[in-house]
């Protein structure tokens, strides 16, 4: 799996988008749900809680 494909798969997991059967197989094989995805969601929660201005700037960049 190339880096661009991995990035797209991780993005789909983070926004909880519908995954194709092939993507689901990659998620299971890489154990994304239990490792990387939960860590990123936890960091996002901490950032939004303790540095809301930084969180808002981040969201502005992501939305554009």
The pLDDT-based confidence of 50 (bands split at 50, 70, 90) is very high
Higher pLDDT, 61 or 28: 28
What ranges do the domains of the chain cover?
3-63
Task: Encode pLDDT of 8-40 as tens digits.
Answer: 888 888 788 899 999 999 989 888 878 887 888
Q: What does the pLDDT read at residue 57?
A: 86
Please tell me the pTM assigned to this model.
Answer: 0.60
pLDDT higher than 90, residue 60: no
The total number of residues shown for the chain amounts to 64
Please report, for residues 5, 6, 19, 33, the alpha-carbon distance to residue 14 in angstroms, rounded to integers and kept in the order given. 14, 12, 11, 9
* pLDDT for 64: 66
């Amino acid at each position: 799996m190339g880096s661009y494909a991995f990035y797209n798969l991780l993005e789909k997991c983070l926004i909880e988008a519908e995954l194709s059967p092939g993507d689901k197989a990659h998620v299971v094989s890489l154990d994304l749900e239990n490792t990387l995805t939960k860590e990123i969601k936890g960091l996002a929660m901490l950032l939004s809680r303790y540095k809301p201005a930084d969180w808002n700037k981040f969201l502005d960049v992501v939305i554009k």
